[in-house]
Structure 1
Amino acid sequence: FGNGLDLTAVGTQTDFGNALYGPSRVDSTQNANFWNTVFSSDFAASGVNVWIDSVMYRDANNNPQNFGSGVAALTFIHNWTYSPSDTAGSFARYATRGQLDITGINSGTAVINGAYHQDLSSQFVSVDSTVRRDFNMTANVANVNIQQVNGWSNHCPSSGSISVTVDLTYTKDSGSPVSSSWTFDITFNNGTATVNVTSGGETASYTHPFCSVN
């Protein structure tokens, strides 16, 4: 950490933005290189939790600035991991990484783009079997528009889309892994979501009005 904490070096995912801080203290909140960071950890006998959340504010010319007047955009980078100390018996581990870029927060419409990725592995050892599950999820957020209603308190998307890919592998004892996958394509229109779910060559679609933009 002496040369700065490179967020993309934490975990294995490298397709998100590079948040480079100054030297960061564990279990701290600080501002370094315009990154406002919360860096927390829990080193227990059973495993290690690390949580890093970071926000950078930018002005209308996309220059980084401290929070205050003139903020037009922000980037939020999120990295949470848990690594168990013992993987011979039953365990679970996860890594969640993501980046959201929000622009237009000084106007009437904020626009959100970004991606999230999560890996989750678990193993359950019983008297007569061992079952392992490996879960992988990637979500991409594209041009999700949020109207400034009641000071951003509405949180209702008027347009944009989210695409999600989920992969699951199930293995029991020494048997062959069984894999399945799903894709979720979600589009927003004035608070109504149209969702297409595809798995195994089959697609289901539905529409749900879940919020109001007014």
Structure 2
Amino acid sequence: MDTQRFRTTWQMAILFLISSLLAGCGINNIPTYDEQVKSAWSQVENQYQRRADLIPNLVETVKGFARQEQETLTAVVEARAKATSINISAADLNDPAKMRQFEQAQSQLTGALSRLMAVSERYPDLKSNQNFLALQSQLEGTENRIAVARRDFIAAVERYNTEIRTFPGRIWHSLMYSDMPIRENFSATTENAEQAPQVNFE
């Protein structure tokens, strides 16, 4: 009985030692960094959704003062519909075509919003409307949050990609995580894409 107990204790000690050694040599880095990429992407989506949620009220407010700007208003509504129709799942993060499609739709919405905000310059009553000013401020804050979320996502993807391309992560990737490919990252689809658009026209 004592021999059995001793053997079990010895096996547990060896298992603990092996687990400690493996944990210390980065075996868990790849799945950890992969989860950080997914978490960072969720923040990107959250901020784009926040922007999309502001747009209906913004359009209605502008419409109340500038109904003749129907073309601009329609462009914003259509761009929003297109942007919100493209959903990127965790699996889609490895698909360059899907990522480009998402980026282009968001970029088109950014452009349409910029044109809508420029319209306000022609309407002093609109520019001084409290509801419009509040929405404008929220939109500006959201654009800044989008820029931060994108930056964090880019950093998470770089950390993950670097891990599976360098030693010892490259070894663990080939042995245990070969089903986890290089992640696609954001690319600049518009000029100065890394900067948050300016929406304050005062």
TM-score between both structures, scaled by the size of structure 1: 0.24
Larger helix proportion of the pair:
2
Larger strand proportion of the pair:
1
Indicate the structure (1 or 2) with the bigger Cα radius of gyration. Answer: 2
TM-score between both structures, scaled by the size of structure 2: 0.25
Higher relative contact order (CA 8 A, sep 6+): 2
